[in-house]
């Protein structure tokens, strides 16, 4: 099974969520398009401690931390979805991490969420709390539903906001898979703690 981690925007917590998923499900990790450093694949590798999971190399490793279409233009390359192929996983499930939000452009025609459709991946949506996040989350959900893409559920990240979470879940119809608090330190122990929580809901 392929899982595509996307979010309502940049710095929503996709990489942390990806690490938690990799740890909980003992699956592989892949970030097809990386813009700038540090590489998210290196961060995930530092946050997991199992030898079962494999970190696959990027299809596009771009220099500038910007929207992929712009970063690619600066590197004088064009991102071509037809050239982005799923890596072999030796039987493991695969967590695919997107870049930015769902409608971030990859080139003149394709956006990030088109990768999920290409790989027939089930989507995990990360929503972080801030003023305006309800609107951004529901707009993201509307885009996913318009494309008829399968969604496993939502993971909320940051200082808890029960009111925001309740209305988002009610309007979306998606389940909450996990709630991640605002952690002072993110390390292997943090990832393990949330991985254990995720397993409880994932296989319930």
Catalytic residue status for 31: yes
Per residue in 72-108, is it b (16+ CB within 10 Å) or e — as a string?
A: bbeeeeebebeebebeeeeebebbbbbbbbbebbbbe
- Judging by DSSP bridges, how do beta strands 94-101 and 60-62 pair with one another? unpaired
DSSP sequence for 46-81? HH---SS--EEPPSEEESSSS-HHHHHHHTT----G
Contact between 102 and 143 under an 8 Å Cβ cutoff? The reply is yes
Matching residue, tokens 């938690």:
20
Whole-angstrom distance between the N-terminal and C-terminal Cα of the chain? Answer: 18
Q: Which helix (H) or strand (E) holds 168?
A: helix 162-172
> Catalytic pick from 31, 63, 145, 170?
31
Active site residues: 31
């Amino acid at each position: 099974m392929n899982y595509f981690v996307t979010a309502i925007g940049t710095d929503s917590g996709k990489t942390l969520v990806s690490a938690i998923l990799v740890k909980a499900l003992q699956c592989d990790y892949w970030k097809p398009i990386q813009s700038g450093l540090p590489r998210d694949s290196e961060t995930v590798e530092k946050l997991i401690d199992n030898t079962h999971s494999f970190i696959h190399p990027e299809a596009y490793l771009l220099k500038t931390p910007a929207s992929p279409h712009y970063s690619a233009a600066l590197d004088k390359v064009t991102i071509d979805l037809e050239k982005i192929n799923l890596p072999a996983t030796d039987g493991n499930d695969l967590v695919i991490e997107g870049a930015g939000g769902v409608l971030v452009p990859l080139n003149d025609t394709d956006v990030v969420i088109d990768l999920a459709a290409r790989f027939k991946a089930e989507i995990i949506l990360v929503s972080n709390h801030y003023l305006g996040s309800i609107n951004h989350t529901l707009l993201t959900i509307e885009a996913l539903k318009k494309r008829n893409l399968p969604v496993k559920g939502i993971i909320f990240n940051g200082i808890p906001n029960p009111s925001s979470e309740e209305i988002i879940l009610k309007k979306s119809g998606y389940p909450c898979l996990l709630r991640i608090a605002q952690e002072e330190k993110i390390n292997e122990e943090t990832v393990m703690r949330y991985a254990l929580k995720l397993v409880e809901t994932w296989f319930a």
